Amino acid sequence: MIIAVLLLGLQWPAVQPIKRTAEFDDASRAQFSMQIRDTEGASVYLLECYGDKAFPESSFLYDGEFECRLTSEGKNPDSEYSTLLTEVRKQERDWQSRARFFGSELTDSCGNIPDFGKRRHFLLRGFRLDLDLSDVKLTEDKKLSSFVLTVAVGPDPHASRSIAQAPIIDKKWAQLPCKLDNSVKPHFK
């Protein structure tokens, strides 16, 4: 079993660690793009994130108040999934990803739920990608108004899936009055 996981991880290029931060005073107009490079310096993945009034014309249907998409680049770009950040093997909608954010998910105790609140971690293809929202401000009707985005990428030997691994969170989070299945269904232990 361990050998298969190691061999599986070898099919993807090792990535260089990178960390970037961006501040958005108007969440609806947020735009963020970051190339993820392999250890040779070639761009192998592209992370693109947009606020709900900044979505580009694209075949990808951005949704939510803020959403990120990860695609592969280079010699063999993938086309099976519209975003590699999905954890749904039979993805039917572009928005089936925890990389889609709503203000209601970021408030009070809801914002503290691991991988469904302000901090979301994605394990895939031999690396970990973290999307952290901080200094979150909401409108009176709980819509995302402004925030700081920190994106971090680094190697992770446990990240063996071709798309994001579904996180497993504690059942205690199901007790909160938070909608956890805006994009994907949570898995509880």
Mean pLDDT per 10-residue interval, the chain, length 189 residues? 40 94 97 96 94 78 86 74 78 74 89 93 96 96 95 95 89 82 74
Cβ-based burial of 162 (10 A; exposed 0-12, middle 13-18, buried ≥19): middle
SS (H, E, C) 37-95: EECCCCEEEEEEEEECCCCCCCCCCCCCCEEEEEEECCCCCCCCCCCCCCCCCCCCCCC
End-to-end CA, the chain: 23
